[in-house]
């Protein structure tokens, strides 16, 4: 499905990514973990086409998409959420979600302005589809007409997920979807991600710090540290990898004491 | 933060097109009847108002919805006006061709100025539009052989099936028709995929791009559409005044449209209407007020009217930007909620 | 006189006139450095100062020296008022909203000046001698040459001041990184107010000089809009580049005025701006910033 090969990315002197490769297999949840500043978000930005790496390749379904602009990648079925919530203020929840379907619709300005049949039918289909597949799944029915900036943080994250989902992406990139959430919200969000994969067979690439989520739902994990891949494998393999434990313990503040304890305990 | 999102309250902004439609029909009926009952001066005034609303819709699409600041809107209105004057003078085109042509001319010239800077972010477009304001006005004044310079051009009345639109009332109906279409079109665009792309670009262009919005294309569309509206407004103005000269399209008029958009509420179609109405009425009140004051104290007020207008436009712009960036549309909405709430209680 | 020496003469006159533009540009760039604000009201601040001078020197017959003092004090007061009442509340808002605010302020000032002093040209007392200056066989009108000399002295003085004074160092720290500047104990708000004072001074002097070379009208300030345009394209990062932009505008106006006719002077800077946008859309010295989402 999505392959990232040997990416080198530097900002001036700072090497954000050196030699990173990730393979997200069809229908799987692949997680990218690593301490803050490890380059995870930069990797996502390379994949979405927002950063141009100095070298390396990104391929989607066998097609080299390294040279494509971000919107062209979206048209090929790539969708994502952002670490720092990036919703569009001044629009309702529903309109934010609809924007996520931009690549699926065809209306141009004339068709839209004169409300031609094309626009009428695709808008009503989209609305129906959102009500049917998204609003219920993510439990957003009560807030769908609210201005998005009025929602609480956890709900905003959910709207972002909804916006990324409407296009029924082939590959979905989630950048820290549960950061800053409480335990209950976290388990809800994990469930949404698993449901999405199950219902639509979407391939997911996930960045997350929350080890219980990552270990619980991922099929494959890649660990980055200071822009370098230091380990990869199944959750169990990664958990017991000494390099990983070192990187995490070295970073200190990355894990809560409880998580450190589990990570440590597992490795012994 | 909304804390009561759990209570299934009436959706804050649920679409209510049914009721809006009824009100719109009523309003149009009233506007159709206006010339039958109102004095001529009112009709003239309503015509100007309609033209201003159309042009303000245009600027609102670019600046209010898409975040593309234009300081040269008046110049594009001018392009439309001169297009009509010239199309009629040299080609004898009828109005139903000349007016769309005016819109297209403004859109093409607008893109000519805007294209280089629409490709990039930042202040460059603002400068390009400022350049358009001064350069186009320069062309109106100095391209003597075509525009007759400061003297200007006279425009023959438009004719519908041989029936000349040779007084305010008749042109008024033409304006009203264009106004209704223009408003309906703007509302439709905004509640479509295209309008969502506009707002997304204004709010977070890079995020929009990652989600599949081709930002340069949509900025171009917004800019062309906004200029088209300006051109149509200019074309109507030419028929209405039966006369075009450069003085009408100076920087002050650009300030006027910008303040109408800001005062009405950026990114609200209702706001564009309210803003244009408010800003068109304001100078009239200023004049009446100034004349009253002048009469009382016996000085010559007429000479300060133009600068007074300029100062007040600027003042309103600044005040609304600081105090109520969502403009009259927001005040209106708030008033209505309060009103309907007391309705429910009663 | 042959064409080449005419060209030299118009060039010299233009560059001399550019001294005033450089002064305006300096006022624009210091405010930008402290607060990322593009001051579209710079021209009106400048024009208003010239009216202050006129009122003090002519209406109240205070003479030239006191007139200048009054004008500078008045301009500073206005600048601080603008900063405090209109721009401080806008901190953190989108740059386009801030541009609209300064543009609106320009409109307010133009209107107020029109109401108080009327639309007609006013003659301000001649500060500058008319005797022409000869550079070899190049003839430069006396007022232009002297305005240039004054502008250069003031620009030089201000640059030295910004370079070596504590306030100037604080400005550079704030320009580089506001947050770090805060943490170093620099009061960024005061730095911003300080740059408005500098802009008021440069605006005031350029306004008085400009009114001396030409005449005084409420439209005197419009030149600052084209200075601003060119300066933005020249790149707001270096003071040197901005000053050069000022001289280039002066030169171009003079030379195109000579070649194409004086009416072309006013739009020359905008044509330059459009051409630059075509060939170098990100500006002359613009660096592409890497952004984050
Ligand atoms: N736009 C940018 N400009 C400069 N440096 C950047 C930029 N984006 C990321 N970096 C640097 O790259 C490194 C990796 O950052 P990031 O990808 O955000 O890490 P993570 O998401 O793993 O926490 C950091 O050192 C960060 O400062
Ligand atoms: Mg990150």
The tens digit of pLDDT for each residue in A87-102 reads 999 899 999 999 999 9
Chain C interface includes B322 (CB < 8 A): yes
**A contacts of C93 (beta carbons < 8 Å):** none
Position with higher pLDDT, A40 vs B89: A40
pLDDT at A257 exceeding the cut of 60: no
Among A49, A113, A163, select the one facing B189 at the smallest CB separation. Answer: A113
Task: Write phi, then psi, for A147 (nearest 5 degrees).
Answer: -65, 140
Q: Separation of A83 CA from ligand 2 center, angstroms?
A: 6
Whether the Cβ atoms of residue A170 and residue B36 lie closer than 8 Å to each other: no
pLDDT of residue A263: 46
Residues A154 and A66 reside in one and the same domain = no
Neighbours of A111 (CB within 10 A): 20
pLDDT digit string, tens, across residues A177-193: 998 888 888 998 999 99
Token readout for A250 is 């070295």
Alpha helices in B87-192 (DSSP H): 95-118, 124-142, 144-147, 168-190
pLDDT of residue A249: 61
Nearest CA in chain C to A81: C293
Neighbours of C262 (CB within 10 A): 11
CB–CB of C104 and B304 under 8 A?
Answer: no
The mean pLDDT of A92-113, rounded to a whole number, is 94
Output the pTM of the full model: 0.90
Task: Write phi, then psi, for A68 (nearest 5 degrees).
Answer: -85, 150
CB–CB of B208 and A95 under 8 A?
Answer: no
C182 within some domain: yes
Neighbours of B305 (CB within 10 A): 17
Whether the Cβ atoms of residue B286 and residue B309 lie closer than 8 Å to each other: yes
Whether A114 is in the pocket of ligand 1, judged by its Cβ within 6 Å, is no
Percent of chain B whose pLDDT exceeds 90 = 60
What is the residue-averaged pLDDT of chain A? 88
Going by the DSSP 8-state scheme, the letter that residue A64 receives in this structure is E
User: C-alpha A121: how far from its chain's center?
Assistant: 30
Nearest CA in chain C to B202: C94
Complex ipTM, two decimals? Answer: 0.89
Separation of alpha carbons B60 and B69, rounded Å: 10
Structural domain of C71: 3-279
**A contacts of B225 (beta carbons < 8 Å):** 109
C202 within some domain: yes
Position with higher pLDDT, B166 vs A80: A80
Residues A72 and A192 reside in one and the same domain = yes
Structural domain of A20: 1-77+169-268
**Which residues are CB-contacts of B69 (< 8 A; sequence separation ≥ 6)?**
B63, B125, B126, B129, C96, C99, C100
- Neighbours, chain A (3 or more CB pairs < 8 A): B, C
Residue ranges in chain C modelled with pLDDT below 70: 1, 281-293
pLDDT digit string, tens, across residues B120-134: 777 889 989 999 999
Name the residue at shortest CA distance from atom 21 of ligand 1: A41
- Neighbours, chain B (3 or more CB pairs < 8 A): A, C
C103 within some domain: yes
C211 within some domain: yes
pLDDT of residue A255: 47
Name the residue at shortest CA distance from atom 25 of ligand 1: A37
Label residue C156 exposed, middle or buried (CB < 10 Å: 0-12, 13-18, 19+).
exposed
Whether A40 is in the pocket of ligand 1, judged by its Cβ within 6 Å, is yes
**A contacts of C293 (beta carbons < 8 Å):** 45, 50, 82, 84, 86
Nearest CA in chain C to B207: C293
CB–CB of A79 and B211 under 8 A?
Answer: yes
Whether A233 is in the pocket of ligand 1, judged by its Cβ within 6 Å, is no
A82 within some domain: no
Label residue A185 exposed, middle or buried (CB < 10 Å: 0-12, 13-18, 19+).
middle
Chain C interface includes B315 (CB < 8 A): yes
Residues A11 and A52 reside in one and the same domain = yes
Place of tokens 């639109």: B165
pLDDT at B2 exceeding the cut of 60: no
Distances (CA, A) of A112 to A94, A108, A119: 18, 6, 6
Residues A175 and A55 reside in one and the same domain = yes
Token readout for C187 is 């009061």
Q: Separation of A267 CA from ligand 2 center, angstroms?
A: 26
pLDDT at A259 exceeding the cut of 70: no
Q: Quote the number of domains for chain C.
A: 1
Domain boundary among A147, A168, A189: A168
Task: Write phi, then psi, for A140 (nearest 5 degrees).
Answer: -110, 10
Whether the Cβ atoms of residue A167 and residue A101 lie closer than 8 Å to each other: yes
Torsion sign across C-alpha atoms B71, B74, B76, B77: positive
The mean pLDDT of A250-261, rounded to a whole number, is 47
CA distance C90 to chain B (A): 7
C287 within some domain: no
Residues A59 and A71 reside in one and the same domain = yes
CB–CB of C293 and A11 under 8 A?
Answer: no
Domain boundary among A168, A202, A232: A168
Separation of alpha carbons C216 and C203, rounded Å: 14
Separation of alpha carbons C171 and C57, rounded Å: 34
Of the listed ligands, the closest to the CA of A177 is: 2
Whether A14 is in the pocket of ligand 1, judged by its Cβ within 6 Å, is yes
Q: Which of A42-51, B179-188, C26-35 has the lowest mean pLDDT?
A: C26-35
Strands A2-11 and A55-60: antiparallel
CB–CB of C293 and A45 under 8 A?
Answer: yes
Q: Which of A29-33, A127-131, B124-128, B217-221 has the lowest mean pLDDT?
A: B124-128
Domain boundaries along the sequence of chain B = 34-345
Whether A37 is in the pocket of ligand 1, judged by its Cβ within 6 Å, is yes
pLDDT digit string, tens, across residues B279-313: 999 988 888 888 887 777 766 677 788 899 899 99
- Residue ranges with CB less than 5 Å from ion ligand 2: A 41, 83
Confidence of residue A266 (pLDDT cuts 50, 70, 90): very low
pLDDT digit string, tens, across residues A192-237: 999 989 888 899 999 998 888 899 999 999 999 899 998 889 988 8
Token readout for A42 is 């930069």
Q: Quote the number of domains for chain A.
A: 2
Residue in A39, A46, A83 to alter for ligand 1 test, most ligand atoms within 8 A of Cβ:
A39
Among C107, C113, C233, select the one facing B313 at the smallest CB separation. Answer: C107
Separation of alpha carbons A193 and A188, rounded Å: 9
Encode A76-108: b = buried (16+ Cβ within 10 Å), e = exposed: bbbbbbbbebbbbebbbbbbbbbbbbbbbbebe
CB–CB of A143 and B8 under 8 A?
Answer: no
Among A74, A112, A114, select the one facing B212 at the smallest CB separation. Answer: A74
Whether A32 is in the pocket of ligand 1, judged by its Cβ within 6 Å, is no
CA distance B67 to chain A (A): 12
Residues A212 and A131 reside in one and the same domain = no
Distances (CA, A) of A217 to A43, A109, A170, A200: 21, 43, 18, 16
Domain boundary among A135, A168, A201: A168
Residues A200 and A220 reside in one and the same domain = yes
CATH of the domain at A53: 3.40.50.300
pLDDT digit string, tens, across residues B28-69: 888 888 888 888 888 999 999 999 999 999 999 999 999 999
CATH of the domain at C254: 1.10.3470
pLDDT at B160 exceeding the cut of 80: no
Alpha helices in chain C (DSSP H): 3-35, 42-54, 63-82, 95-117, 142-164, 166-176, 178-183, 188-213, 222-234, 239-260, 268-279
A251 within some domain: yes
Of the listed ligands, the closest to the CA of B206 is: 1
A123 within some domain: yes
Separation of alpha carbons C17 and C123, rounded Å: 19
CB–CB of A86 and C290 under 8 A?
Answer: no
Nearest CA in chain C to B317: C104
Separation of alpha carbons C154 and C26, rounded Å: 10
pLDDT digit string, tens, across residues B210-239: 999 999 999 999 999 999 999 999 999 999
**B contacts of C233 (beta carbons < 8 Å):** 124, 127
Whether A42 is in the pocket of ligand 1, judged by its Cβ within 6 Å, is yes
Q: Separation of A13 CA from ligand 2 center, angstroms?
A: 19
Separation of alpha carbons C209 and C95, rounded Å: 31
CA distance A263 to chain B (A): 35
Alpha helices in C55-187 (DSSP H): 63-82, 95-117, 142-164, 166-176, 178-183
User: C-alpha C275: how far from its chain's center?
Assistant: 22
CA distance C126 to chain A (A): 55
């Amino acid at each position: 499905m999505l392959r990232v090969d040997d990416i080198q990315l530097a900002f001036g002197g700072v090497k954000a990514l050196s030699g990173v490769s990730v393979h997200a297999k069809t229908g799987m949840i692949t997680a990218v973990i690593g301490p803050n500043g490890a380059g995870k978000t930069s990797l996502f930005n390379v994949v979405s086409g927002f950063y141009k790496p100095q070298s390396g390749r990104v391929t989607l379904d066998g097609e080299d998409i390294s040279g494509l602009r971000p919107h062209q990648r979206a048209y090929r079925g790539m969708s994502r959420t952002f670490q720092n919530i990036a919703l569009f203020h001044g629009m309702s929840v529903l309109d934010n979600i609809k924007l996520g379907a931009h690549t699926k619709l065809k209306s141009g300005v004339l068709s839209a302005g004169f409300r031609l049949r094309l626009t009428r039918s695709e808008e009503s289909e989209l609305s129906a589809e959102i009500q049917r597949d998204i609003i219920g799944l993510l439990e957003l029915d009560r807030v769908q007409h609210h201005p998005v900036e009025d929602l609480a943080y956890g709900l905003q994250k959910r709207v972002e997920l909804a916006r990324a989902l409407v296009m029924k992406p082939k590959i979905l990139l989630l950048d820290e979807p549960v950061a800053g959430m409480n335990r209950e919200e976290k388990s809800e969000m994990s469930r949404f991600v698993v449901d999405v994969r199950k219902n639509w067979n979407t391939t997911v690439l996930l960045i997350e710090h929350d080890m219980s989520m990552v270990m619980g739902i991922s099929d494959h994990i890649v660990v980055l540290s200071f822009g370098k891949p230091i380990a990869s494998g199944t959750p169990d393999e990664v958990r017991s990898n000494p390099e990983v434990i070192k990187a995490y313990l070295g970073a200190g503040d990355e894990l809560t004491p409880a998580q450190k304890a589990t990570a440590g305990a597992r490795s012994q | 933060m909304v804390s009561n999102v759990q209570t299934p309250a009436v959706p804050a902004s649920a679409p209510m097109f049914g009721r809006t439609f009824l009100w719109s029909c009523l309003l149009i009926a009233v506007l159709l009847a206006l010339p039958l009952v109102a004095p001529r001066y009112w009709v003239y005034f309503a015509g100007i108002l309609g033209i201003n609303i159309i042009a303000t819709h245009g600027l609102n699409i670019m600046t209010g919805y898409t975040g593309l600041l234009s300081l040269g809107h008046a110049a594009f209105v001018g392009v439309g006006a001169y297009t009509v004057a010239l199309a009629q003078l040299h080609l004898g085109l009828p109005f139903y061709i000349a007016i769309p042509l005016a819109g297209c001319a403004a859109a093409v010239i607008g893109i000519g100025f805007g294209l280089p800077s629409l490709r990039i972010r930042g202040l460059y477009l603002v400068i390009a539009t400022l350049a358009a304001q001064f350069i186009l006005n320069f062309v109106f004044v100095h391209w003597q052989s075509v525009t007759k310079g400061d003297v200007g051009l006279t425009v023959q009345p438009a004719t519908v099936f041989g029936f000349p639109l040779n007084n305010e009332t008749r042109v008024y109906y033409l304006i009203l028709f264009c106004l209704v279409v223009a408003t309906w079109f703007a509302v439709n665009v905004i509640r479509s995929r295209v309008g969502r792309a506009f707002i997304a670009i204004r709010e977070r262009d890079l995020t929009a791009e990652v989600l599949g919005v081709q930002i340069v294309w949509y900025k171009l569309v917004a800019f062309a559409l906004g200029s088209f509206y300006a051109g149509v407004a200019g074309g109507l103005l030419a028929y209405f005044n039966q006369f075009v000269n450069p003085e009408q399209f100076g920087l002050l008029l650009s300030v006027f449209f910008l303040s109408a958009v800001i005062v009405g509420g950026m990114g609200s179609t209702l706001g564009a209407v309210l803003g244009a109405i408010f800003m068109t009425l304001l100078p009239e009140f200023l004049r009446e007020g100034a004349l009253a004051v002048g009469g009382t104290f016996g000085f010559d007020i007429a000479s300060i009217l133009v600068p007074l207008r300029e100062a007040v436009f600027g003042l309103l712009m600044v005040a609304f930007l600081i105090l109520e960036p969502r403009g009259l549309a927001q005040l209106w909405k708030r008033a209505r909620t309060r009103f309907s709430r007391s309705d429910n209680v009663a | 006189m042959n064409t080449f020496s005419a060209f030299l003469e118009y060039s010299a006159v233009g560059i001399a006139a550019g001294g005033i533009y450089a002064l305006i540009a300096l006022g624009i760039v210091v405010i930008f450095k402290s607060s990322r604000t593009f001051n579209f009201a710079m021209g009106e601040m400048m024009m208003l100062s010239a009216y202050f001078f006129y009122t003090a020197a002519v209406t109240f017959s205070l003479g030239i020296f006191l007139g200048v003092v009054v004008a500078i004090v008045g301009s500073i007061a206005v600048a601080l008022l603008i900063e405090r009442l209109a721009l401080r509340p806008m901190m953190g808002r989108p740059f386009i909203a801030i541009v609209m605010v300064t543009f609106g302020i320009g409109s307010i000032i133009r209107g107020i000046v029109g109401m108080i002093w009327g639309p007609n040209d006013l003659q301000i007392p001649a500060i500058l001698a008319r005797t022409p200056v000869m550079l070899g066989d190049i003839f430069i009108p006396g007022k232009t040459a002297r305005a240039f000399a004054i502008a250069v002295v003031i620009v030089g003085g201000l640059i030295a001041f910004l370079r070596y004074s504590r306030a100037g160092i604080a400005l550079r720290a704030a320009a580089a990184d506001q947050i770090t500047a805060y943490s170093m104990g620099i009061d960024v708000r005061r730095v911003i107010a300080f740059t408005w004072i500098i802009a008021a001074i440069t605006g005031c002097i350029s306004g008085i000089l400009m009114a001396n070379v030409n005449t005084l009208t409420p439209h005197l300030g419009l030149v600052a809009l084209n200075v601003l345009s060119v300066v933005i394209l020249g790149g707001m990062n270096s003071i040197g580049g901005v000053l050069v932009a000022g001289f280039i505008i002066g030169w171009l106006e003079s030379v195109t005025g000579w070649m194409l006719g004086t009416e072309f002077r006013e739009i020359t800077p905008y044509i330059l701006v459009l051409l630059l946008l075509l060939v170098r859309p990100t500006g002359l010295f613009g660096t592409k910033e890497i952004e984050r989402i």
